[in-house]
Amino acid sequence: MINVTIEREQTYIKSFTLTGHAGSGPEGHDLVCAAVSAISFGSVNAVFTLCEIDLDIDQAGDEGGYLKVTIPESLDEQLLEKVSLLFEGMVVSLQTVEREYGQYISIFEN
């Protein structure tokens, strides 16, 4: 099971963490894992490219199954809104996967 935890400060996403493995198919053919990976890494890359900021990223080595992304504290309000909006799009996409494949992914918000 992939667990996604979204951390908020007021209305803004401040960090998100993905843990676990979907296990919806054999390694290399796991569609849920592929979807979650594409959505999350695509969102991180969008923030890098469109907002030109460095995110604090912690991820597991070769075994995978862990990704934590934290938005820097020092962002001004306008840039924080832009970054948060891009990550809100990620959450919507992950919720779509959760609706179809809820036995393999759960999303929590703090």
Of all helices (H) and strands (E), which one includes residue 4?
A: strand 2-9
33 part of the active site: yes
29 part of the active site: no
Long-range contact set of residues 55-63: C-beta below 8 Å, sequence gap at least 24: none
Mapped onto helix, strand or coil, the DSSP state of residue 75 is coil
Active-site residue identified among 4, 6, 13, 33: 33
Active-site residue identified among 21, 41, 53, 93: 21
Which residues are part of the catalytic machinery? 21, 33
